[in-house]
Chains A and B, each alone.
Chain A
C-alpha cells in the first residue's frame, strides 16, 4: 500500500500558497506530519482526502490518480479532520450508524465495528446519549471512532489528540500503534511527543514547503552531539537565544537551566545530552527560517 504525491501545490491567492511542490511517498506504517501553525499540514490533508483540489501536481493511491478519480481513495479512507462537527441530536450509536452507511459498510459489519470502536474509544457508557451532551474530549473520541469505523487502509488524522486528557492520549497512541500493520496512517500534529511515540517516519512542513521526510532515528541523528544543557544567569538567556536554537528552559533558584542546539559547547559547564525528536524538529524549522 502506498500513497504518493507529485509536486502538489495549492494556491489561495496570487501571492499566497498553502503548500507548494510537495512530493512525498507514504508507505505502510505511521507517518508523522509535523510543522508549526500555518505550515500547510491541513491543506495537504484536505487534498489527500479529496476534500480540496490542488492547484498543481497530483497524488496516487496504489498508482491510481486520486485527483482524477477521487472514488479510488474514498472507499478505503478513514479521516479525522481538525475542525469537525457532529449531529448533536443523534446518539453516539446513531451517529456511527450514519457514518457506517456513508462509508459503505453492510449492517452486520457496521454493528460489529460500532461496538468495537465504542469500546476502543472508551465511550461504552454513553453510547445512547445524544452527542450534544458530550464534552470536547468525548467528541474528539467520537471523531476517532468514526475514522477507524471502516477499517481503513489509509487513515488520515489531523491533530487527533487535541482536547484529550493525558490518559486518553496514551490510549489513542496505543490504538494507532496496534492498528498500524497493513495500512498507511498519516498523523498530522504539532505535538512532537505524539509523533515520537508512534511514528515510523516523519515529514516536516514549514511555510508550505516540505523540509524533510525521513525516519525518526535519522532525523535525531542530524543533531547528534549538538544538544547541550547548561545553567546560566537569567540575564544571559537572551544572548543565548540570539546565538542558538534554544529548545527549552527551566527556571531555577540559581539561574535558568537551558537546553539548546549548538555545534560546540556554548558555556564551559555545558553538558552534552541525548537529542530528542523535539530538538531535531526545532533545529529543522530553525534552519528553514534562517534560509
Chain B
C-alpha cells in the first residue's frame, strides 16, 4: 500500500504543479459559472403540435447540483481522457520508466498507482467545479445554498466517470497501437457511441426504459431524468417522455425540482461503472509492457530484422560500425563554406514534408492512397461527374480532412517531442522552419484531397473549391498554433475532432469548414475558417518570433 501511495502521490504532484492544469481548472470554473447562471441549460424539450418549448428547471440547489453533476460527467468523459492520458508517457519521457523497471514494484501496483493519480486529477477538476457551483449558487441561485444538494450529484454522477476514464486512459497507454493519435480518435468515437443508448429513451418515461439502457448510462443522464421528470409532469402532464437536453436552450417556461430521496438503483448503477473500471485496469496490467522506451516495438523489431537480413545478403556480415577502419582525421579535407545564406526554403519545405510523412503505420499510407484514388475511380466509372459529387462531398470529403490528423498532430510540437528545440532555435532559419512546417501540413492536406479537387473541377463546380481550401488551411493552422503554444498535441486533437465531428461529419453548418453541405458554401462558412486559419497561423508565428528574439 505504501508503494501504491507513493507512485500515485509522485505522479499527482507532478501533474498539479503544471501550468496546463491551472488553465484547465480555470476553464472548468468558468463552466461552473455558465451552469449556474443559466447559459448552459438542462431543459426538457416539449413538442406540442409541432411547436417546441423548452422547460427549464429553476435554479434551486438541488437542480443546479444535477446540472453540475451532468456537466462534470461530460467534461471528464470527453476532456478527462486527454488530460489523464500521459501518466505513463511522462515516465517514458523523463526516463523514469528505466528506473521503475529495475525495481521490485509489480505491474499491478505500478498501474494501480497511476490509476489513482488519474482519479485524483479528475477529483481536483470536480472539486473546482463544485466550488464554482457553490459560489455561483450563493450569488445567483434560488433558495438556500445547500452544499450537500449542490455537491452530491457531482460526486455520484461524475466521480464514477473519473474512475472509468482514468482506467480507460491507462489501458490506451498500455496498448502500443492506441497510445497515440489513433487512440485519441478511437476514444472520441467510443465516448460518442457510449451515449448512443440515450436514443432508446425517446418517447419513454423512466419506468419503461429497459434496465440494460440504464446500466450503460455513463453520464448519469437517465438517472437525472428519473429524478426530475415528476417535477416536469406537474407542469406538463401529457409529456410523452425523453431525457432532458443540455446546452444553450432558450425559453422561459420552468419547472421546480427541490430534491428528494434517490432510488437505490442509481447508486448500484454508479458502483457498477466503477467495478467495470477495475476490470479495465486489470486488463491494462495484462497488456502492460514495462520494457523501457528505448527498446524497439514489435513492428520495429521486425523491420530491423528484415533490414539486417537484407544487409547481410547484400554486403555480407560487415554491418557493424566498428568493423571498418575509420579514415584518418588528417587525411580528410573539408570543403570551406562561404555562403551560409542560400535560401534553400524549397529544400527546407521538402525536408519538412518528408519528416511529416515518415513513421506512420503502413495502413495510413494505404488509406491516404485510397482517399486520393477513389474520387478518380468514381469519376472514371460514372457517366456524369455531377452524380459523383454528392457522395464524395458527404463521405470522402470529411474523411480526407480527418485522415491527415496523424500528420497534423505532430505540428508545432515535433521539435519539443524530439528535443530538437535548441538546434532549431539557434539556426539561421528558425522562423522559416515554422513556415515550412505549416506549409508541409497544407501540402499533405492538398495531396490527400487532390482526387476530390479533380472531381469537383471535372464536375464544373469550382465553388466547392472554397470548402477544399477551408479544409486544407484550417487543420494545419489549428495544429501548429495549438501545438506551439501548448507544447502538446492533445489540445489540437480534441478541438479538431470535436469541430470535425460536429461540422463536416454531422453537417452542422456553422462548423462545416470543408463545405460538405451546400448551405455552408452558400453562406461562406469555409471562408470564415480560412480567415480563422490565417489568425491561428499568425499566433504561431508570433510565438516563434518570441522564441527567437
Residues of A at under 8 Å CB distance from B?
46, 49-51, 70-71, 74-77, 79, 81, 83-90, 94, 97-107, 109-110, 112-113, 116, 119-120, 122-126, 129, 132-133, 138, 146, 150-151, 171, 174-175, 178-179
* Chain B residues within an 8 Å CB radius of A138: 321
Query: A106 and B342: CB pair below 8 A?
Result: yes
Encoded as 1 (CB less than 8 Å from any A CB) or 0, chain B from 353 to 365 comes to: 0110011000000
Query: A104 and B351: CB pair below 8 A?
Result: no
User: CB-nearest residue of chain A relative to B350?
Assistant: A101
Query: A126 and B321: CB pair below 8 A?
Result: yes
Known contacts A70-B548, A89-B359, A179-B334: does B326 contact A122 (CB below 8 Å)? yes
> Taking the nearest CB of chain B, how far is it from the CB of A76, in angstroms?
7
* Chain A residues within an 8 Å CB radius of B323: 125
Whether B263 is near chain A, meaning CB under 8 Å from some CB there, is no
Complex A-B: 18 CB contacts under 8 Å: A75-B341, A79-B426, A81-B423, A84-B419, A84-B422, A89-B359, A97-B351, A100-B344, A101-B347, A102-B423, A102-B433, A104-B429, A106-B339, A110-B347, A120-B332, A122-B326, A174-B330, A179-B334
> Taking the nearest CB of chain B, how far is it from the CB of A43, in angstroms?
13
User: CB-nearest residue of chain A relative to B549?
Assistant: A70
> Taking the nearest CB of chain B, how far is it from the CB of A112, in angstroms?
4
* Chain B residues within an 8 Å CB radius of A109: 335, 337, 339, 342
Pick the contact of A90: B332, B340, B355 (CB < 8 A): B355
User: CB-nearest residue of chain B relative to A71?
Assistant: B428
> Taking the nearest CB of chain A, how far is it from the CB of B211, in angstroms?
50
Interface contacts (Cβ under 8 Å), in number, total: 147
> Taking the nearest CB of chain A, how far is it from the CB of B445, in angstroms?
20
Query: A85 and B428: CB pair below 8 A?
Result: no
C-alpha spacing A97/B359, complex, angstroms: 18
* Chain B residues within an 8 Å CB radius of A94: 351, 354
Interface size of B in residues (CB-CB distance below 8 Å): 50
C-alpha spacing A112/B319, complex, angstroms: 24
* Chain A residues within an 8 Å CB radius of B427: 74, 99, 102-103
**Among B319, B339, B351: residue with most chain A CB under 10 A:** B351
Whether B327 is near chain A, meaning CB under 8 Å from some CB there, is yes
Query: A76 and B423: CB pair below 8 A?
Result: no
> Taking the nearest CB of chain B, how far is it from the CB of A277, in angstroms?
23
C-alpha spacing A291/B358, complex, angstroms: 55
C-alpha spacing A247/B29, complex, angstroms: 59
C-alpha spacing A85/B323, complex, angstroms: 26
Q: Which 4 A-B pairs rank lowest in CB-CB distance, beginning with the nearest?
A: A85-B419, A151-B337, A89-B359, A106-B342
Known contacts A113-B337, A133-B304: does B321 contact A104 (CB below 8 Å)? no
Query: B340 and A51: CB pair below 8 A?
Result: no
Query: A89 and B358: CB pair below 8 A?
Result: yes
C-alpha spacing A85/B416, complex, angstroms: 9
* Chain B residues within an 8 Å CB radius of A51: 421-422, 425-426
User: CB-nearest residue of chain A relative to B427?
Assistant: A102
Whether B420 is near chain A, meaning CB under 8 Å from some CB there, is yes
* Apart from A109-B339, A133-B304: 5 A-B pairs, beta carbons within 8 A: A89-B359, A90-B355, A98-B348, A116-B335, A132-B300
* Chain B residues within an 8 Å CB radius of A103: 340, 427-429
Whether B336 is near chain A, meaning CB under 8 Å from some CB there, is yes
Pick the contact of B321: A84, A102, A110, A123 (CB < 8 A): A123
Query: B422 and A171: CB pair below 8 A?
Result: no
Query: B330 and A178: CB pair below 8 A?
Result: yes
User: CB-nearest residue of chain B relative to A91?
Assistant: B358
User: CB-nearest residue of chain A relative to B349?
Assistant: A101
* Chain A residues within an 8 Å CB radius of B426: 49-51, 74, 77, 79
Query: A101 and B300: CB pair below 8 A?
Result: no
Identify which of residues 183-237 in chain B touch chain A, using a CB-to-CB cut-off of 8 Å.
none
> Taking the nearest CB of chain A, how far is it from the CB of B85, in angstroms?
21
C-alpha spacing A88/B410, complex, angstroms: 13
C-alpha spacing A113/B333, complex, angstroms: 10
C-alpha spacing A150/B339, complex, angstroms: 9
Known contacts A105-B344, A125-B319: does B422 contact A46 (CB below 8 Å)? yes
Identify which of residues 361-375 in chain B touch chain A, using a CB-to-CB cut-off of 8 Å.
none
C-alpha spacing A125/B332, complex, angstroms: 16
C-alpha spacing A87/B428, complex, angstroms: 19
* Chain A residues within an 8 Å CB radius of B333: 116
C-alpha spacing A115/B339, complex, angstroms: 18
User: CB-nearest residue of chain A relative to B419?
Assistant: A85
Whether B100 is near chain A, meaning CB under 8 Å from some CB there, is no
Query: A88 and B359: CB pair below 8 A?
Result: yes
Whether B324 is near chain A, meaning CB under 8 Å from some CB there, is yes
Pick the contact of B344: A71, A87, A101, A129 (CB < 8 A): A101
Query: A105 and B420: CB pair below 8 A?
Result: no
* Chain A residues within an 8 Å CB radius of B300: 132
C-alpha spacing A49/B321, complex, angstroms: 32
* Chain A residues within an 8 Å CB radius of B139: none
> Taking the nearest CB of chain B, how far is it from the CB of A182, in angstroms?
10
Pick the contact of A107: B327, B335, B347 (CB < 8 A): B347
